[in-house]
Structure 1
Amino acid sequence: MRPSSTLTLLALGSAARGAVSLEDTSLPPRDIEDYKRAIEARSLVDDIWNDIKNAATCTACQGILVLLMGVAEFGNSAFVDIGTGLCELAKVEDKDVCAGVIALEGPIIANSLRNMDLGSESAKLFCGSFLGLCAEPAVPQWNVPFPSPKPSTGRPAPSGKTPLKVVQYSDIHVDPLYVSGSSTNCTKPICCRPYTAADSPGSSTSPAGPNGDHNCDSPVSLETSLYKAIQELVPDAAFTIFTGDIVDHAVWNTSDAYNEQSITHAYTSMSQYLGLVYGTAGNHEASPVNAFPVASISNSSQWVYDLLSDEWTRWVGASAKADIVNFGAYSTKYPNGNLRVISLNTNFYYRLNFWLYQKTIEQDPDGQIKWLVNELDAAEKAGERVYIIGHMPPGVGDAFHAGSNYIDQVVNRYSSTIAAMFFGHTHVDHFEISYSNYSSQDAAHAIMTSYICPSLTPTSGMPSFRVYDVDPDTFAVLDSTTYIADMTNAAFQTTGPVWTKYYSAKEAYGSKLNPPVTDPAAELTPAFWHNVTALFQSDPDTFNQYIAYKSRGWNVSPCTGDCETAELCQLRAGRSENNCITIAPGLHFEKRSEVVDEQEHAVNSDACGLSAGMKTLNSLATRKDLLEELANRYNALKGNAA
């Protein structure tokens, strides 16, 4: 392909046939030839910047995409080279972090840009997700087909029998290169590594303890203490749910081999200390981070599925192997009760997965939703109860509205069969409620609860895990108790983490409801959780206590006014289109430990999947000098190719 023909090729698709004004207002149309002339006259940057200032942000983004697509047409090497330079100029990360991340992600971003039409739904999603310059398009209409009508029966009543114990932990993010005594204060995404001589043990002015720090991922010693604590505190656990994310946040330095070693180590350790474990695929399991393509695009992450199938089949059986290998999900029967556990690959709905931005975004990536419907329908016919587990909660800002909507349709249809859902990813302690009608968000319309587990890694609070009291017949959740290792305890860095009960949901909230819910045999129903959110609205002290619980008492920031409104909206958003999150140019990503703003309380999507590549793209919407550099580098490529 001749680079000089780039803009002609970009004209293919809807943008070439008319306006590329995407604001749904009366903005004047611009076609591709206008952009071509603007680039050649070196005035495109001024046009883009004026559009941003005048709030024509989606139109402005099309101009940025013209430049990015143009660079991508010159090949991956050129794209990586220019992307690295922009990252360094933006100073979003250190130079080595920029170089490492862009080398990993750049080819994927370039591939998506080459396969994306200007002005398309994919382009709008890209602009919204990475530049904050387009509102998410309306969800494409798809009524998920179901093989049978929804039965009239509701959730079964608890049996009153002695409950089972079920454990959940998440986001362990184990750093095998953590060095005790190295610096906890660094310029990288994670610290506690001897990046420089000044960071080394004996030289650092902020030495890390042996068992972890809030600026660092989990040392192996902290991971081991988690498994031992579960073994000691919950020796009778029926099973354990692990909702993903094993690999550390050094996303500039991952590789297939490094990630494979981390994943193998983690599951080997789990098998040594724990009994039955049900796992799911986190976004950090892939290299580069978040990179889970659908099968029709690439098989670059097949090694992840192959590895997870080898690790998981010891617990879920050989019959689940084919589905894990095909798309990283499985359905399996709990051997000691009438429960089916379905593990979803939520990376197919994750907006930070660059592979998903293609000419047409697949409605049902790798057929996972169709597969889920079939599994749930069979479970319903067999009279089974179901737990759905996954990494990313479908209601958070990280989830595509479309995929979240389609999953929500499935949850509504099978709400009498699904006992509960369990997720991680956000690193904080919270929940989400799904409704049969989001225009009537009340207790009567609450139909499902997603339990979102806080992390082991201490970057967002005290290391944590949860224990659920579960009815042995209906598998309804009767209580949810969070355990923590308090890092302010002097023993944490000396004799080791001390794991203690932090709070019980029923104890913290049940007695304050009207009528109270204190019976140990009573279910924490979706209506219960809706009533808890209503309690938050009427009782500021209880809401403030909940905010403290989110980070397990660490670095607690006030949440009032718009922050409180956003938080309540997120708790009532089982699907992401209802979470009240708005975008603006410049998404202002920071380390978890550095900032908690009004939306951060509700979104919690900051550091888990972010990278220097995403921050660089974001900076193009807020830094005119970066746009000018991008335009200059693109024009230089054209000149050299002439």
Structure 2
Amino acid sequence: MVIAAPTPTHLEKRGWVLDKLRPLFTKAVQTLECGACVAAVNGVKDVAKINKGWVSSVAKELCPSLAKFPADVCNGIVDLYGPVVIDIIMKADISGGDGKIICHAVGGICPAPAITSGTLTFPKPKPVNAAPPAHSGNQVDVLHLSDWHVDELYTPGSDAVCNRPTCCRKYTDSPTTFTRAAASWGDYNCDTPVKLTQDLLKHVPTVANVSFAIMTGDVPPHDIWHETKETVDPIEAHAYSVMASLPAKIYPTVGNHESGPASLFPTPSSGGDNSWLYASLADDWSRWLPADAVNSVKNYGAYTVSPTPGFRIISLNTNFCYSTNFYLYADTHDYDPHGEIQWLISQLQAAEDAGERVWIISHVGPSMADCLQNWSALYYQVIQRYSPHVIAEQFYGHTHRDEFALFYGPGSKNTQNAISTAWIGPSVTPFTGLNPGFRVYKVDTKSWNVFDSQTYIANLDQAASWDASGSSPNWHLEYSARKAYGAYVPIADNAPLSASWWHNVTMVFEKNDAAFQQYWTYRGKSANLQGDCAAGSTCQTELICNLRAGKSSDACTPSKINGHKKRHDEADDVEDPSGLHSLYKRADPQTWDKKLCGLSF
């Protein structure tokens, strides 16, 4: 007689899954080895084939110990991201190479795969001796806002040093005695209080006669464990209504936090639907955009607009290159989701034919390590084809820092070959140890080139004294790029801050430590909380390399994430030009484990 084996109980099944996945996850997080990461992803796929719910259940159990998060954060992240991540892993060919691609792009663990996106074909060849137009000599002020990250739950007097990704809120387990109480104007560990955004907008007209503004993305806060359509929609609507107090049009772009859950933007290959987001943004932005641009936003967030004859702004949704957009791994050979690169080419060709000058604005910069390399390589070809005669400037956000990146024509990275500058705007949010800030550009009205970049900040270390005295933030000019770096690389009055000039500035950084340290200070918006980056150090070498890396495959980043072994004085954030390291430079030692749980800018 055959005796049937007993059916495993739920607890026995759960125990089997936990025993299978715990060592895989633990080894991947502790060793940060490529093979260990791929094995962990493969383990998820194996278990998900049996029961997807088991994967989520085990992830919730392991997250607090591996990621050092409270249970509510872990549960929220798993509930929001788990279903998407599991479905995408089920579609991916993990053993066939997708596992290494995922582990490199999301975790920075495996070596970068070969770039396979190929060579683009353009409608017309680049004109011989293509050159930008002459300058008019007339300049206007243009405001650059970025990474708003307003927190409507910000609570003055709450704990500013907490056990969650973002602090300055009332949590159910908040202690009664704090390390530091949050000032009403903000804190370096926290996102932006509403009153700080309102005060910033009141100050802007006192220092600039703004012709128009660009806003390079990220309105909601960093509470990704409960960012959903229902939570982000009203935050964005309110924030854009606050921005509307500025007496000038604002041309926005889509940040990774605009979506709920954050960073998840479906593609035609992946399934999923973000039409609610694009419809909502189209409505929020309709106060500034014409009808044709509003209709374009409804497709996937990109649009083009002409603020004045002869000048065009193209707003891209670069979340389709963003490494933490898990939808991208449903088809790793879909190098141009939604055909956005091809759409960009069509817009630039039309601009070339019409003799227009173009600005490209977006959130995640193609130079950043968290922009997928295949997409970035295609984009770089577009910049080479249409610069410098069509594309006047590029503008991004995302890192929260005051930075730039350079693009070059075919051949060497030298002064003669530098063709385009990516201006990476400072954040409004102080989150990650930075002073809140904004930029004002002095721009020629014919060439639409930048003649000066002026960064304004408020010294948030004085926030408690503002509260005590009943005063407001001390918004002030931190520096003028033309004046600060023109002292090292002289520039004629009638010349813009060109890519060639910026390349020469980076050459000075290599030889003149005083100049480099000045840049290092300004990069952190003079908060002086980013540690040291000494002359001759790997930190300095990698940072200067990243300034010359217009495409992500040129970024000087290590093959493995080892930031979890470092502390503040080692300036570990420069290993990742996306700025993700800086997310973890906090009073607590939690570091890259957070990225492995999906937390990102």
What TM-score do you get using the length of structure 1 for normalisation?
0.83
**Contact 1:243–1:423 at 8 Å: present in 2 too?**
yes
CA-CA distance at 1:120 after TM superposition? 3.0
Displacement of 1:307 after TM fit? 0.7
Q: Distance between the aligned counterparts of 1:473 and 1:107, measured in 2?
A: 50
Deviation per CA, 1:248-305, whole angstroms, max 9, x where unpaired? 0111121211100111011111112241100000001111110011134234322111
What is residue 396 of structure 2 aligned with on the other side?
Answer: 423
For the pair 1:385 / 2:357, whether they are aligned, the reply is: yes
Match status 1:374 vs 2:346: yes
Partner deviation per Cα, 1:294-345 (whole Å, 9 max, x = no partner) = 13423432211111111222212111123211111001111x3421000000
Contact kept in structure 2, 1:351 and 1:398, CA below 8 Å: yes
Alignment TM-score, normalising by the size of structure 2: 0.89
Paired residues of 1:436 and 1:446 also in contact (CA < 8 A): yes
The structural deviation recorded for 1:533 is 0.2
User: What displacement does 1:159 show?
Assistant: 2.3
- The 3-state SS of whatever aligns with 1:342 is strand
Look up the equivalent residue of 1:289 and give its one-letter code.
Answer: A
* Gap change, CA 1:503 and 1:133, over 3 Å in 2: closer
Which residue does 1:101 correspond to in 2? 77
Given candidates 120, 123, 138, the residue that maps to 1:144 is 120
Cα distance, 1:595 vs structure 2 = 7.3
Q: Which amino acid aligns with 1:443?
A: T
Distance 1:617 1:263, change over 3 A: closer
Q: Does 1:523 align with 2:496?
A: yes
Structure 2 residue aligned with 1:537, among 498, 506, 510? 510
Instruction: Return the letter of the residue paired with 2:531.
Output: S
Per the alignment, residue 226 of structure 1 pairs with: 200
Q: Which runs of 5 or more structure 1 residues have no equivalent in the other structure?
A: 1-38, 621-642
Choose which of 451, 463, 469 in structure 1 pairs with 2:423: 451
Say if 2:281 is the partner of 1:305: no
Please give the secondary structure, in 2, of the residue aligned with 1:482. Answer: strand
- RMSD of the TM alignment (CA)? 2.9
Q: What is the rounded CA distance, in whole Å, between the counterparts of 1:46 and 1:207 in structure 2?
A: 39
Structure 2 regions of 5+ residues with no counterpart? 1-15
Question: Aligned partners of 1:267, 1:301: CA distance in 2, in Å?
Answer: 19
Counterpart for residue 153 of structure 2: 177
**Partner SS state of residue 294, structure 2:** helix
Indicate if the aligned counterparts of 2:357 and 2:391 stay in contact, CA closer than 8 A. yes
Q: How does 1:38-77 map to 2 (within 5 A)?
A: 57-77=33-53
Is the CA contact 2:563–2:581 (under 8 Å) kept in the aligned structure 1?
A: no
In the alignment, is residue 502 of structure 1 matched against residue 451 of structure 2?
no
CA distance, structure 2, for counterparts of residue 361 and residue 82 of structure 1? 31
Offset from partner CA, 1:498-545 (integer Å, 9 cap, x none):
2111101110111312xx1151x3111110010010010111100001
Give the secondary structure class of the aligned counterpart of 2:461. Answer: coil
Moved more, 191-200 or 375-384: 191-200
| Number of positions where the alignment pairs a residue of Structure 1 with one of Structure 2 | 570
Q: CA 1:292 to 1:589, structure 2 compared with 1: closer, same or farther past 3 Å?
A: farther
CA gap of 1:226–1:590, structure 2 versus 1, over 3 A, is: farther
Amino acid at match of 1:408: Y
* Conservation of the 8 A alpha-carbon contact between 1:484 and 1:499: yes
Give the letter aligned to residue 393 of structure 1.
Answer: G
CA contact (8 A) 2:67 2:597 kept: no
Q: Which residue of the partner structure matches residue 580 of structure 2?
A: 605
Corresponding position of 2:435:
462
Question: In the alignment, residue 212 of structure 1 is paired with which amino acid?
Answer: G
Shift of 1:367: 0.6
Distance across 1 between alignment mates of 2:592 and 2:84: 12
State the distance in 1 between where 2:594 and 2:576 align: 24
Which residue, 63, 66, 72 being the options, matches 1:87? Answer: 63
User: 1:75 deviation in Å?
Assistant: 4.1
Match of residue 215 from structure 1: 189
1:166 aligns with 2:142: yes
SS in 2 for 1:107: helix
1:598 Cα deviation after fit = 6.3
Q: Taking structure 1 as reference, are residues 158 and 503 closer, same or farther at Cα in structure 2, changes over 3 Å only? A: farther
Structure 2: how far apart are the matches of 1:51 and 1:184?
31
**Could you say if the C-alpha distance between residues 45 and 223 of structure 1 is closer, same or farther in structure 2, counting changes exceeding 3 Å?**
closer
Q: Which amino acid aligns with 1:61?
A: C
Instruction: Determine helix, strand or coil for the equivalent of 1:478.
Output: strand
Secondary structure at the counterpart of residue 487 of structure 2: helix
Shift of 1:68: 1.0
CA contact (8 A) 2:558 2:575 kept: no
Cross-structure match for 1:252: 225
1:407 alignment counterpart = 379
Report if aligned partners of 1:563, 1:598 keep a CA contact under 8 Å in 2. no
Structure 1 partner of 2:92: 116
